[in-house]
Structure 1
Amino acid sequence: MTTITQTLTEPLRTLHLRSESPKKTEKPAFKGTQYDHDKDAGGAKDQEYPYAWALPTFNNTTYPPLTPYEHKDPGLEALKHENPREFLQNAQVSDLTPRFGADVSGVQLTQLDTRGRQQLAKFVAERGIVVFRDQDFQDQSPDWMLQDWGSFFGRLHIHPTSAHPLNHPEFHLVYRDMSKTFNYEFTDRFTSSVWHSDVTYEEQPPGLTTLFLFDSPASGGDTAYVSQVEAYKRLSPSFRAYLETLQVVHSGVEQANFSRAGNRGGTVRREPVENVHPLVRTHPVTGEKALFVNTQFSRRIVGLKKEESDAILNLLYDHLAKGVDFQVRVKWSPRAVVLWDNRVTAHSAIVDFDSAQDGRRHGARITPQAERPFLRKD
């Protein structure tokens, strides 16, 4: 499940905790610290859980506002390579759809050198979302995951309101167990899906994003992704030209207020911000244009009256939600790692597993920031 940002206000029913990977007889390379996580994670004492170090915690640490930084996408270097897919030469690659998404086996992300990571960044930018199967990623130390892996792709983002592992605030956790969820779910609507791109209210929202699950139900709990590149291409040329003249306010205020009301740990680590971004943005590596709006953080189009802004934004939200021919649904398997480019995709959790039977869903997201969104005119 993805990077989603709020919680239920009513209690959840009891789940049975189940550790899916690795098996109970296996020990991960990084054992971490075992501790009583009743207060933070809401489960029974589970000292045998091999990923107890990554269970959700909250603290009262506050951070100053983010400052601008210069981002250079690693994928730009891959444009200079004679064979920019060299890192896939021994891999099995299946396209999820002709133009969006890929599923890869036979590549260990932890073994990629600088050249391979540059090519990876370009490949993810082109495909939007890529699933890597049978990885040893989650058995690495958290310092390696963050400082060696995550920071290669950009400055690590610390989420202003979400839970994180003890002493590792750069992880954003997705978590649901027998009594708690730290994600965005509703029981008073037909569906729990909320299409969004992560923390787009930041001046420099994330680029290449990594998500992996320590534990998940045997079925259900998939993640859906939609291509905002293909969504843009489906629009008429005249409408695309008009949208390229528009800018949108993205806001983190509502998210912060939700936490301040006592939800989701009640934590606000950094004061919320609003930023204005182009409604259509250009990817710095591929040069492709994409819509850059989402229901969770986009608030209004600058310079339009409310009715005009709402009409256009709601049309685009509906377009993204109904675009099954430019969406994919990723089924999680044990030890899978999913990478996506947050600049040109949106995603939604699919909360369809039975909370009374199917067990804990526990994952971590690494979220490097990218460049400030821009539109390059043709």
Structure 2
Amino acid sequence: MAPTATTQNPSEKDEIEATIRKLASLKPLGSSTYRKDIKAGYDHSFLENVPPTTRARYERHGVDISKGYPYVPELDSIPKFVDEAYAIRNEDYPYIERGKNADPEKKALLGAAKEVIHLTKHIGTEIVGLQLSELTDKQKDELALLIAERVVVFFRDQDLSPQKQLELGHYWGQVEVHPQVPRVSEELNGISVIWQDYYRKKYGLGLTFKKSIGGNSQWHTDLVHEHQPAGITHLHNDAIPSVGGDTVWSSGYAAYDKLSPAFQKFLDGKTAIYKSAHQYVDRENPLKGPKHVEREHPLVRTHPATGWKSLFVNRSMTDRIVGLEPEESKLILEYLFSVYEKNLDIQVRFNWKPTKEGLGTSALWDNRISQHNAVWDHEGNENRHGTRVTSLAEIPYFDENSKSQREALGLSLD
């Protein structure tokens, strides 16, 4: 016999809503890798752990951390429900691809540099002798194109203020303000703190020598769950281990070119579901457990500046391929992850150490065409601290008339 429908009266609805709110308030939700509760506001107890080079940088550029460091958004402002997280950036936002109309020869940028070093054939370029804080708009446009072509570009010996880093981010797109991640201060929205020591001690991120995969130390692409995912990310490290603490990047262009023509044709035009790193309560089914924000994007996307195809997957946040059976999707994604992760010839490993004491190093990469992995070999025995600004880009798209990188450059497809 089928159950009869019942109608909730207003008091019952209010009681259910109150229960849901109470569930959400028991533990502010964050990454599934965190083992401790998130503490909101300025953290004065951890102030003494701020690396000396970080403190000196902030003092030089008028950043006051006397109230505590870092700043974690107040609990009331952190979304606890998945619909609230979706609503943060759920509408189309105007985007200008700065690299699209830049001088292809990049004479203003490269001509002003003391040296231009291509670190590998497929990925990674270091620019010597320029300060990011002094770039003209024309040079910024050319840098955006260089990043689009070389995937990641490095600048050592930078005396860069967090304020200037944020200004650069706004030039390249809508700056992502993460609702949960610690930031430099309450005022400097959009500057996230990348400091694994803090996450280990305050959030219980379980990085050890035996368990060195977690947090930023795993293959991932930033913010793929966004309606308009990340374009250029700029990480400036102001505290760098004397040995180790490297980061590895892998090229999505080259990963796509590694695939057979038949497999490329199979993947072209397909979409996948991408999930957020953080989790939230499902208001409609709160007892089911935490839920990720999910978005559907092309599995192969076209970069608007280069017109080249890139394989848009990453192990941490690509959940499933739309239209395939779960086991089919799992097998294909596992292979695609391995193409990114195992082909050393499409990767670059970079050591951040500057040549001048007291200065920092910047890396700027394009998340539309890459994955990266911070190597946990310094084990927290030396300081590694940085500030990150991410500029969101266009809604991902696939142009069936676009070419692969090697095809466009006239290189062998074997």
TM-score, length basis structure 1: 0.80
Instruction: Identify the residue that residue 31 of structure 1 maps to in structure 2.
Output: 62
Answer yes or no: is the 8 Å Cα contact 1:6–1:182 preserved in 2.
no
Say yes or no: does 1:125 pair with 2:148: yes
Instruction: Identify the residue that residue 89 of structure 1 maps to in structure 2.
Output: 111
Counterpart Cα distance in 1 of 2:386 and 2:340? 25
AA at the equivalent of 2:179: P
Q: Which runs of 5+ in 1 are unaligned?
A: 42-54, 259-267
Q: 1:6 to 1:341 in 2, by over 3 A?
A: farther
Q: 1:104 to 1:6 in 2, by over 3 A?
A: farther
Instruction: Identify the residue that residue 229 of structure 1 maps to in structure 2.
Output: 253
Answer yes or no: is the 8 Å Cα contact 1:281–1:375 preserved in 2.
yes
AA at the equivalent of 2:313: V
Q: 1:27 to 1:362 in 2, by over 3 A?
A: closer
Instruction: Identify the residue that residue 219 of structure 1 maps to in structure 2.
Output: 243
Answer yes or no: is the 8 Å Cα contact 1:6–1:185 preserved in 2.
no
Q: 1:57 aligns with which of 69, 72, 78?
A: 72
Counterpart Cα distance in 2 of 1:367 and 1:185? 25
Answer yes or no: is the 8 Å Cα contact 2:35–2:205 preserved in 1.
no
Which whole-Å deviations, capped at 9, do the CAs of 1:126-159 have from their partners, x for residues lacking one?
Answer: 000011111111xx2x44332x211000001112
Q: 1:5 to 1:136 in 2, by over 3 A?
A: farther
Which whole-Å deviations, capped at 9, do the CAs of 1:291-333 have from their partners, x for residues lacking one?
Answer: 0011111111111000000000011111211111101111012
Which whole-Å deviations, capped at 9, do the CAs of 1:43-80 have from their partners, x for residues lacking one?
Answer: xxxxxxxxxxxx353422247521211211110120xx
TM-score, length basis structure 2: 0.74
**TM-fit CA distance, 1:209:** 1.2
Instruction: Identify the residue that residue 201 of structure 2 maps to in structure 1.
Output: 180
Q: 1:351 aligns with which of 344, 361, 376?
A: 376
Q: 1:299 aligns with which of 319, 340, 363?
A: 319
Question: 3-state SS of the aligned residue for 2:101?
Answer: helix
Which whole-Å deviations, capped at 9, do the CAs of 1:244-299 have from their partners, x for residues lacking one?
Answer: 131100112x62249xxxxxxxxx9xx95311011000000001111001111111
Answer yes or no: is the 8 Å Cα contact 1:175–1:182 preserved in 2.
no
AA at the equivalent of 1:346: Q
When you count helix as a share of all residues, which structure comes out higher?
2
Say yes or no: does 1:156 pair with 2:175: yes
Counterpart Cα distance in 2 of 1:255 and 1:101? 30
Say yes or no: does 1:326 pair with 2:346: yes
Q: 1:56 to 1:176 in 2, by over 3 A?
A: farther
Answer yes or no: is the 8 Å Cα contact 2:122–2:345 preserved in 1.
no
AA at the equivalent of 1:71: Y
Q: Give me the identity figure in percent.
A: 32
Answer yes or no: is the 8 Å Cα contact 2:122–2:251 preserved in 1.
no
- The root-mean-square deviation of aligned C-alpha atoms, in Å, is 2.9
Counterpart Cα distance in 1 of 2:143 and 2:31? 27
Q: Which range is displaced more, 230-239 or 191-200?
A: 191-200
Say yes or no: does 1:337 pair with 2:362: yes
Instruction: Identify the residue that residue 165 of structure 1 maps to in structure 2.
Output: 184
The number of residue pairs the alignment matches comes to 335
Counterpart Cα distance in 1 of 2:400 and 2:183? 40
Counterpart Cα distance in 2 of 1:348 and 1:82? 30
Q: Which runs of 5+ in 2 are unaligned?
A: 1-29, 38-45, 80-86, 282-289, 355-359, 402-414
Which whole-Å deviations, capped at 9, do the CAs of 1:73-105 have from their partners, x for residues lacking one?
Answer: 110120xx3742421113211111012111111
The one of the two structures with greater contact order (alpha-carbon pairs below 8 A, sep at least 6) is 1
Instruction: Identify the residue that residue 35 of structure 2 maps to in structure 1.
Output: 9
**TM-fit CA distance, 1:34:** 3.2
Max Rg structure: 2
Answer yes or no: is the 8 Å Cα contact 1:107–1:132 preserved in 2.
yes
Say yes or no: does 1:286 pair with 2:286: no
Counterpart Cα distance in 1 of 2:218 and 2:67? 32
Q: 1:257 to 1:183 in 2, by over 3 A?
A: farther
**TM-fit CA distance, 1:113:** 1.1
Counterpart Cα distance in 2 of 1:155 and 1:272? 22
